[in-house]
Every structure is written in structure tokens, then in C-alpha cells.
Amino acid sequence: MTPQFIRQLIIHTLCNVTGESPKDLIALDRVVLNTRDWEQVFSRLESTLDIQTGMMTSSERSISIEALASVLHTKLSGDIST
């Protein structure tokens, strides 16, 4: 799975959960979510990618799309090679 695909999946998931447009989300350095939206986003991403990020229970409620895409890509690459 390419980093670009993961990035698009993150944006798509954020749009579906928050109702924001992709353009509005991409313009943000960090996306701030309430607890419900945070849990929904990570539940969907973990389910779609069949991984556990450990982020659903994180007290942090803001993410950088680029940083998250990098973390998820690394996690997926690591899971595949083991």
C-alpha cells in the first residue's frame, strides 16, 4: 500500500466522520477532533487496514494527516515484512 493511498484513505475517513471537505482538511496543519470523532476515525482506519494503532485510547485529539500517513505506512510495511 503506497503512502499516497494511505493519505487518501485518511482524508476520506476524516471527511466521512466530520463532514468536512477534503480541501478544508488538507489546508489544516493539524486536524482537531472531538473524542467521538477521534474514536470513529481510528476505529475505521484500523478496521480497513487490519491493524492496531493504539491511538483510539490516546489522550491526544489532533493529528497531522502527513504524519499519520507516514506512521500507518511504516506500521503496514513492518507488519508485512514480519
Model pLDDT for residues 34-68, shown as the tens digit of each residue: 999 999 999 999 999 999 998 988 888 999 999 99
Give pLDDT, residue 82: 38
CA atoms within 13 A on the CB side of 54: 2
Give pLDDT, residue 79: 58
Global pTM reads 0.90
**CA–CA separation, 22 and 3 (whole Å):** 17
For the cut 90, the answer to whether the pLDDT of residue 78 exceeds it is no
76 near 51, Cβ under 8 Å? Answer: yes
